[in-house]
A and B are shown apart, each in its own frame.
Chain A
Amino acid sequence: MQKTTRLGVAALGALLTLGLAACGGGSGSSTPSSSGGGTAAGGTGTFNAALTGVVDPSDKKGGILKFANAGDWDSLDPGDTYYGYSWNFIRLYGRSLVMFKSAVGKEGNELTPDLAEGLGTPSDDAKTWTYKLKAGIKFEDGTPVTSKDVKYGVERSFDKEVFPDGYTYFNDFLNWPKDYKGAYKSKGVNTDSAIETPDDQTIVFHLKQPLSNFDYFAQLPATIPVPADKDTGAKYKEHVIATGPYMFKTNEIGKGFSLVRNPNWDPATDPNRKALPDGYEVSTNVNADDIDNRILAGDLDVDIAGTGAQPAALGRILPDPTIKANTDNPTGTRLWYTSINGNVPPLDNIDCRKAVEYAADKTTLQTAWGGEFAGGQIATSLLPPAIPGHEDFNTYPPGADNKGDLTKAKEALTACGQPNGFETNISYRAERPKEKAAAEALQQSLGRVGIKLTLKPFPQADYFALYAGKPGYAKDNKLGLAMNGWQSDWPDGFGFLQQIVDSRVIRDTGGSSNVSVRDPEVDKLIDQAMEQTDANARNAIWTQIDKKVMDDAYILPNVWAKALLIRSKNASNVFVNDAYGMYDYLGMGVK
Chain B
Amino acid sequence: MVTYIIRRLIWAVVMLSIVSIITFGIFFLVPRLAGATPEDLAARYVGRTATEQQVKLAAEQLGFNDPLIVQYGRFAKGIVAGADYNNGPSVEHCPAPCFGYSFRTRLPVWPDLLDRLPVTISLAIGAAVIWVIAGVATGVVSALRRGSFFDRAAMGVALAGVSLPIFFTGMVSLVLFSYGLHITAPGNVYTPFLTNPLTWAYDLLLPWITLAFLYAANYARLTRAGMLETMNEDYIRTARAKGLAERTVVLKHGLRGALTPILTIFGLDFGLLLGGAVLTESTYSLPGIGKYAIDAIGYQDLPQVMGVVLVAAFFVVFANLVVDLLYAVVDPRVRLV
Residues in A lying within 8 Å of B, measured CB to CB: 4-5, 7-12, 14-15, 18-20, 22-23, 25-30, 68, 71-72, 74, 82, 156, 159-162, 164-168, 184, 231-235, 237, 252-255, 283, 285-287, 289-290, 293-294, 296-297, 299, 312, 431, 459, 461-462, 464-466, 507, 509, 511
Contact = CB atoms under 8 A, between A and B. Distances in A.
Interface string B49-62: 11110100110010
B72 interface: no
Contact of B89 (A23, A27, A233): A233
Given A7-B137, A156-B88, A283 B202 contact: no
Contact of B184 (A19, A253, A461, A465): A19
A562 B70 CA distance: 49
Interface string B211-247: 0110010000000000000000000000000000000
A25 B87 contact: no
A34 B49 CA distance: 39
The 9 closest A-B pairs by CB, nearest first: A233-B88, A164-B47, A11-B137, A8-B141, A297-B179, A162-B88, A290-B187, A28-B202, A234-B87
A160 B54 contact: yes
B137 A164 contact: no
B179 A299 contact: yes
B44 A283 contact: no
Nearest to A167: B49
A30 B178 contact: yes
B141 A4 contact: yes
A184 B89 contact: yes
Contacts of A509: 52
A286 B186 CA distance: 11
B209 interface: yes
A252 B192 CA distance: 15
B269 interface: no
Given A234-B106, A287-B284, A29 B203 contact: yes
A22 B191 contact: no
B106 A161 contact: no
Contacts of A27: 199, 202
A582 to B, nearest CB: 21
Contact of A286 (B43, B87, B187, B298): B187
Contacts of A184: 88-89
Contact of A461 (B140, B282, B300): B300
B179 A72 contact: no
Nearest to B106: A234
B270 interface: no
B20 interface: no
B327 interface: no
Given A14-B130, A283-B188, A299-B186, A19 B205 contact: yes
B87 A253 contact: no
- Which of B46, B49, B130, B145 is most buried by chain A, counting CB atoms within 10 A of its CB? B49
Interface stretch (B3-11, B285-293, B311-319): B285-293
Interface string B81-116: 000001111101000000000011111000010010
Interface in B260-282: 282
Interface of B: 36, 40, 43-52, 54, 57-58, 61, 86-90, 92, 103-107, 112, 115, 130, 133-134, 137-138, 140-142, 144-145, 150, 153-154, 157, 171, 174-175, 177-179, 183-191, 196, 198-199, 201-203, 205-206, 209, 212-213, 216, 282-285, 287, 291-292, 295, 298, 300
Given A30-B189, A294-B186, A466-B40, A25 B202 contact: yes
A462 B44 CA distance: 9
Contacts of B186: 30, 290, 294, 297, 299
Contacts of A232: 87-90
B260 to A, nearest CB: 21
B250 to A, nearest CB: 9
A233 B203 contact: no
A40 B267 CA distance: 47
B189 A28 contact: yes
Given A167-B49, A287-B282, A294 B179 contact: yes
16 contacts: A9-B150, A12-B141, A25-B202, A27-B202, A29-B189, A74-B104, A82-B49, A161-B61, A184-B89, A233-B89, A254-B292, A285-B291, A296-B179, A297-B186, A431-B298, A466-B36
A210 B305 CA distance: 46
B56 to A, nearest CB: 10
A465 B138 contact: no
B183 to A, nearest CB: 4
Given A29-B199, A234-B87, A293-B179, A68 B188 contact: yes
A12 B157 contact: yes
A280 B5 CA distance: 51
A29 B134 contact: no
B198 A25 contact: yes
Contact of A233 (B87, B196, B205, B283): B87
B212 A15 contact: yes
A253 B108 CA distance: 11
Contacts of A74: 104
Contact of A8 (B46, B145, B189): B145
Contacts of A22: 201-202, 205
Contacts of A233: 87-90
B187 A164 contact: no
Contacts of B189: 28-30
B193 to A, nearest CB: 13
Contacts of B47: 160, 164-166
Contacts of A25: 198, 201-202
A253 B199 contact: no
Contact of B191 (A28, A164, A464): A28
Contacts of A167: 49
Given A234-B106, A235-B87, A166 B49 contact: yes
B107 A253 contact: yes
Contacts of B88: 156, 159, 162, 184, 231-234
B173 to A, nearest CB: 9
A161 B112 contact: no
Nearest to A462: B40
A253 B105 contact: yes
A7 B141 contact: yes
Nearest to B48: A511
Contacts of A466: 36, 40
Nearest to B179: A297
A237 B103 CA distance: 14
Contacts of B206: 19
Contact of A287 (B137, B185, B188): B188
A203 B67 CA distance: 48
Given A8-B154, A299-B179, A30 B142 contact: no
B90 A287 contact: no
A414 B189 CA distance: 63
Contact of B49 (A68, A168, A287): A168
B185 A29 contact: yes
A155 to B, nearest CB: 12
A243 B11 CA distance: 56
Nearest to A22: B205
A164 B48 CA distance: 7
A165 to B, nearest CB: 6
B8 to A, nearest CB: 34
Contacts of A4: 141, 144-145
Contacts of A159: 88
A450 to B, nearest CB: 34
A255 B287 contact: yes
A290 B285 contact: yes
Contacts of A462: 40, 43
B285 A285 contact: yes
Given A19-B184, A293-B179, A8 B138 contact: yes
B87 A461 contact: no
Nearest to B57: A161
A28 B199 contact: yes
Contacts of B51: 160, 168
- Which of A160, A232, A286 is most buried by chain B, counting CB atoms within 10 A of its CB? A160
